[in-house]
């Protein structure tokens, strides 16, 4: 879909063209939406990310592929500061995540400020992570009301639109445990969109689903992609990558081995490691 007509994220939510997700100052157009430079992350002696560079432009879909343990989830988690990087930088909408720059010095943001930044970035997990004690509708409205302090009428109307969009208008008053896995994941996607994020991260969103439920979740994600949502998706769904991705990134052992359009990375990979991986998952 490179060079396509996607210009507006989340038309689902019917909101205007986005500004800077971190500052809200309308400057996102001047920056890549996401920019990682030389990112390193270790857990004890395990060096998981070994100098990752990644750029994602606004409105683009990036699919990250790679063997188990190559660092894909960790990379995703650094993008919304669920993991703090040891070295290198993560910028979202041009702004350094987790820090405030004063002159040439960096000051770490407070937990509360980080939480506020994080509401600009939707995160869809493999295991849905819905609030079990809240109805579907309340799952969508909770964070916009309490973390973003937006007006209830606006948030309720948005929740209604989003549930219609993911085909679950009739489940608004149901509790998550009464839904199928595919339905729960569609609620989780709608919940991420209710924050009106500038960027949505997906970590293996279909891996926990029975095969017959995968399609309904991928359809919602394809719709979002067509609507101009900036998305970074960790998945083993090669068909989705081929159809929807602007860029496919292949990671191995904590490094980006190669990246490019799907036709290049999936059909004519330049590196042996990519070829071996693609050969196994196709």
Ligand X SMILES: Nc1ncnc2c1ncn2[C@@H]1O[C@H](COP(=O)(O)OP(=O)(O)OP(=O)(O)O)[C@@H](O)[C@H]1O
230 binds ligand X (CB under 6 A): no
Cα–Cα distance measured from residue 200 to residue 265, given in angstroms and rounded to the nearest whole number: 23
List, in sequence order, every residue forming a beta bridge with 82; answer none if it has no partner: none
DSSP H helices in the chain:
72-79, 111-118, 136-146, 152-165, 181-194, 211-226, 238-244, 262-267, 272-281
Q: Residue 242, Cβ neighbours under 10 Å: how many?
A: 16
67-75, 113-121, 186-194, 221-229 -> range binding ligand X (CB under 6 A): 67-75
User: What is the smallest separation between the CB atom of 42 and ligand X, expressed in angstroms?
Assistant: 9
273 binds ligand X (CB under 6 A): no
Member of 3, 43, 45, 279 binding ligand X (CB under 6 A): 43
User: What is the smallest separation between the CB atom of 99 and ligand X, expressed in angstroms?
Assistant: 21
Member of 6, 72, 171, 273 binding ligand X (CB under 6 A): 72
55-63, 65-73, 146-154, 221-229 -> range binding ligand X (CB under 6 A): 65-73
Placement of tokens 């973390």 in the chain: 147
Q: Return the number of the residue (50 or 150) whose C-beta is nearest ligand X.
A: 50
Contact 201/235 with Cβ under 8 angstroms?
Answer: no
68-76, 212-220, 238-246, 264-272 -> range binding ligand X (CB under 6 A): 68-76
Member of 5, 45, 68, 146 binding ligand X (CB under 6 A): 68
Cα–Cα distance measured from residue 220 to residue 250, given in angstroms and rounded to the nearest whole number: 24
78 binds ligand X (CB under 6 A): no
62 binds ligand X (CB under 6 A): no
Q: Return the number of the residue (76 or 155) whose C-beta is nearest ligand X.
A: 76
18 binds ligand X (CB under 6 A): no
122 binds ligand X (CB under 6 A): no
Q: Return the number of the residue (47 or 116) whose C-beta is nearest ligand X.
A: 47
247 binds ligand X (CB under 6 A): no
Count CA atoms closer than 13 A to 160's CA, side-chain side: 6
Contacts of 88 (CB under 8 A, 6+ apart): 36, 37, 38, 39, 40, 51, 52
Member of 20, 74, 117, 139 binding ligand X (CB under 6 A): 74
Cα–Cα distance measured from residue 189 to residue 217, given in angstroms and rounded to the nearest whole number: 9
Helix or strand holding residue 41 (H, E): strand 34-43
Using CA atoms, how far residue 125 sits from 18, 73, 107, 188, in Å, is 24, 10, 30, 8
71 binds ligand X (CB under 6 A): yes
**Which of 122, 97, 116 lies closest to 13 in space, CA to CA?**
122
List, in sequence order, every residue forming a beta bridge with 6; answer none if it has no partner: none
48 binds ligand X (CB under 6 A): yes
269 binds ligand X (CB under 6 A): no
| Structure token digits, residue 172 | 């608004």
User: What is the smallest separation between the CB atom of 39 and ligand X, expressed in angstroms?
Assistant: 12
Which residues lie near ligand X (CB under 6 A)? 43, 46, 48, 66, 68-74
């Amino acid at each position: 879909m490179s060079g396509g007509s996607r210009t507006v994220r989340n038309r689902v939510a019917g909101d205007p063209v986005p500004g800077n997700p971190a500052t809200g100052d309308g400057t996102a157009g001047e920056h890549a939406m996401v920019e990682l430079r030389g990112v390193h992350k270790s857990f004890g002696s395990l060096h998981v990310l070994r100098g990752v560079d990644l750029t994602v432009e606004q409105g683009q879909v990036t699919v990250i592929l790679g063997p188990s343990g190559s660092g894909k989830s960790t990379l995703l988690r650094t993008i919304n500061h669920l993991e703090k990087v040891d070295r290198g930088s993560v910028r979202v909408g041009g702004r350094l995540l987790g820090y405030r720059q004063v002159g040439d010095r960096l000051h770490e943001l407070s937990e509360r400020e980080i939480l506020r930044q994080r509401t600009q970035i939707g995160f869809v997990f493999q295991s849905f992570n819905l609030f079990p004690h809240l109805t579907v509708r309340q799952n969508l409205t909770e964070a916009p009301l309490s973390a973003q302090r937006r007006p209830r009428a606006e948030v309720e109307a948005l929740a209604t639109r989003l549930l219609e969009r993911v085909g679950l208008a009739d489940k608004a008053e149901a509790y998550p445990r009464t839904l199928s896995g595919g339905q729960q994941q569609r609620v989780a996607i709608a919940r991420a969109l209710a924050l009106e994020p500038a960027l949505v991260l997906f970590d293996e969103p279909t891996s926990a689903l029975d095969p017959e439920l995968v399609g309904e979740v991928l359809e919602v994600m394809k719709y979002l992609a067509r609507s101009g949502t900036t998305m970074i998706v960790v998945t083993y769904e090669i068909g989705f990558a081929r159809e929807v991705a602007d860029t496919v990134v292949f990671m191995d052992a904590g490094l980006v081995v190669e990246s490019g359009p799907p036709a290049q990375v999936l059909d004519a990979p330049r590196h042996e490691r990519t070829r071996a991986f693609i050969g196994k998952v196709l």
